[in-house]
Amino acid sequence: MATDISPARMGAWRSFLVAHARVTDALAAELEAETSLPLTWYDVLVQLTEAEDKRLRMQDLARAVLLSKSGLTRLVDRMMASGLVTREPCLDDRRGTFVCLADAGRDRLDGASPIHMRGISQHFTSHLSEDEARQLHALLDRIVQANLIPAR
Amino acid sequence: MATDISPARMGAWRSFLVAHARVTDALAAELEAETSLPLTWYDVLVQLTEAEDKRLRMQDLARAVLLSKSGLTRLVDRMMASGLVTREPCLDDRRGTFVCLADAGRDRLDGASPIHMRGISQHFTSHLSEDEARQLHALLDRIVQANLIPAR
DNA sequence: GCCCGGTCGTTGCGAACGCAACTCATCCGT
DNA sequence: ACGGATGAGTTGCGTTCGCAACGACCGGGC
C-alpha cells in the first residue's frame, strides 16, 4: 500500500481545509451582512473591473470565478436583473456574449471593496508577516501549477 | 482609508483560494469516479472511525464536517438509506441521536481511503518538503486559531 | 412540582449549482 | 461551397445545502 503521509504533511492538509472554510465563511458572511452582496457577485464584479474594456466573454468569466457554464448563466441573469451587469452580443463571433460592468455594478463594487479588503486583512493576511506571505504564495503557486485545469 | 494589502499578501490570498478549489475539485472527482463515494460521505465516515465507539452526536458530527444541522440530517438520511451508518437514540439525553458507523460503512471507507490518500499526496502534500509542511501547518493553524467558530 | 429559557434534531422552503441535452454559429476538410 | 465536427451559451432537471420555524426534551429557579 505505502500510501502513508507524514503527520506534518497531513497536519498541513487538514489545517489548509479548515482555514479555508473558516476564512471564506467569515468573509462571505461579513460581505453579505454589510453590503448585501454575495461573495460570488463580488467576484464577478472584480473580474469585470480588472478586465479590458470592463467586459468578459461568458466562458472566460466562468473560468475566472470557478463556476460552470450553466452556473454562470444563471448568476449573470440575477445580476442583470439587479442592474449590476449587462449582456452585449459579440460581433466578431456571433455565438459569443459579453458580460459588461454596468455603472451600478461599479458603484456597488466601490462600496463593497473596502469592506472585503478589511475582511481579508483581518481574517487572513494580517496573520502573515511579509516574508511568510511570500513563502506561502510561492508554495501554493507550486501546487496550483501542479493542478492545472482538469477541464470543465 | 488605508485598507491596502501588500502584493505579496494579496498574492498569497489568491493562490490560497485557487489552490483550494483546484485540489478539492480534483480530489472529489477522483474519489467519486473510483469509489462512487462523495467527498462529504467520506468525511463523515472518517470522523466516525476516529470517534470513540465509532459514533458521534449529530451536532458534533456537523461541526466536524463543516455542515449545518439540517444539512447533516439529510446527509445522514442518505447514508443510512445506503446502509453505511445507523441512527441510535441517546439514552442519557433523549433529545439526542447518535450516528453510528455500520459495518458496510467501515468496509467502504477501507476501500476508499487508499485512493483518497493517494490523491492528497499527488495533488497536495507531495509538492511540500517535510520542512515546508511543518511551516505551512504552523502558519495555517495560526489563522485557524484567529478565526475561531463564529457559531453556526 | 411547575415553568421557562435554551438545546437537539427534523422539516418546509427556497437558493445555487452541475450535468446533459439542445440551439445556433463557426471552422475545416474536401 | 457544403457537411460534419467543434464550440458558445442557454435551459430542464436533479441534487445539495442553509435558514427559519417547529416539537421534543433538558435543567435551573421558585
Q: Which residue has the cell 479555508?
A: A20
The pLDDT assigned to B152 comes to 36
Question: What is the nearest CA distance from A97 to chain B, expressed in angstroms?
Answer: 25
Average pLDDT score over chain A: 92
Mutate to test the interface with A, among B50, B125, B130 (most CBs of A within 10 A): B125
**pLDDT tens for residues B62-113?**
999 999 999 999 999 999 999 999 999 999 999 999 999 999 999 999 999 9
Strand C footprint nucleotides (protein C-beta < 7 Å): 6-12, 16-21, 24-27
Closest by CA to A43, choosing from B112, A56, B1, B104, is: A56
Strand C lies under 7 A from the Cβ of residue A82: no
Core vs surface per residue A115-151: b (16+ CB within 10 A) or e: bbbbbbbbbbbebbeeebbbbbbebbbebbeebeeee
pTM given for the model = 0.89
Residue A132: pLDDT over 90: yes
Q: Which nucleotides of D are covered by protein (CB under 7 A)?
A: 7-12, 16-21, 23-27
Whether the predicted pLDDT of A25 surpasses 90: no
Which of A121, A53, A117 shows the shortest CA–CA distance to A86? A53
pLDDT confidence of residue B3: 65
Give dist(CA A96, CA B60) in Å, integer: 48
Residues in contact with B116: Cβ distance below 8 Å, sequence separation at least 6, in sequence order: B27, B30, B31, B42
Separation of CA B58 and C1' C9 in angstroms? 8
**pLDDT value for A13:** 93
Instruction: State which residue has its Cα closest to the C1' atom of D19.
Output: B70
**Mean pLDDT of all residues in B14-29:** 90
Residue A2 has pLDDT above 80, yes or no: no
Helical (H) or strand (E) element with B56: strand B55-57
Among residues B59, B38, B7, the alpha carbon closest in space to that of A137 is found at: B7
Chain B contacts of A135, Cβ < 8 Å?
A: 135
Q: How confident is the model at residue B5 (pLDDT cuts 50, 70, 90)?
A: confident
- Which of B4, B118, B144, B145 to mutate to test binding with chain A, by most A CBs within 10 Å of its CB? B144
Nearest nucleotide by C1' from A68 CA? C18
Phi, psi of A84 (to 5 degrees): -85, -25
A19 vs B147: CB contact, 8 Å cut-off? yes
CB contact under 8 A, B120 and A29: no
Q: Which residue has the cell 479590458?
A: A52
Distance B112 CA to D26 C1' (A): 40
Q: How far is CA A78 from CA A25, A30, A41, A44, A81, in A?
A: 22, 21, 9, 12, 5
Q: What does the alpha-carbon distance between residue A123 and residue A97 come to, in Å, rounded to a whole number?
A: 37
| CA-CA-CA-CA torsion sign (A31, A36, A37, A38) | positive
pLDDT digits (tens, 9 = 90+) for A27-72: 998 898 899 999 999 999 999 999 999 999 999 999 999 999 999 9
Q: SS3 letters for B19-46?
A: HHHHHHHHHHHHHHHHHCCCHHHHHHHH
Digit-coded pLDDT (tens) for A49-59: 999 999 999 99
Distance, in Å, from the CA atom of A49 to the CA atom of A60, rounded to the nearest integer, reads 14
Which of these, A81, A85, A112, lies nearest to A98 by C-alpha position?
Answer: A85
Nearest to A14 by CA among B71, B143, B51: B143
With beta carbons less than 8 A apart as the criterion, state whether B150 and A119 touch: no
Under an 8 A CB cutoff, do B5 and A120 touch? yes
Is the pLDDT at A110 greater than 80? The verdict is yes
Chain A residues near residue B124 by CB distance under 8 angstroms: 13, 16, 143
Stated length of chain A = 152
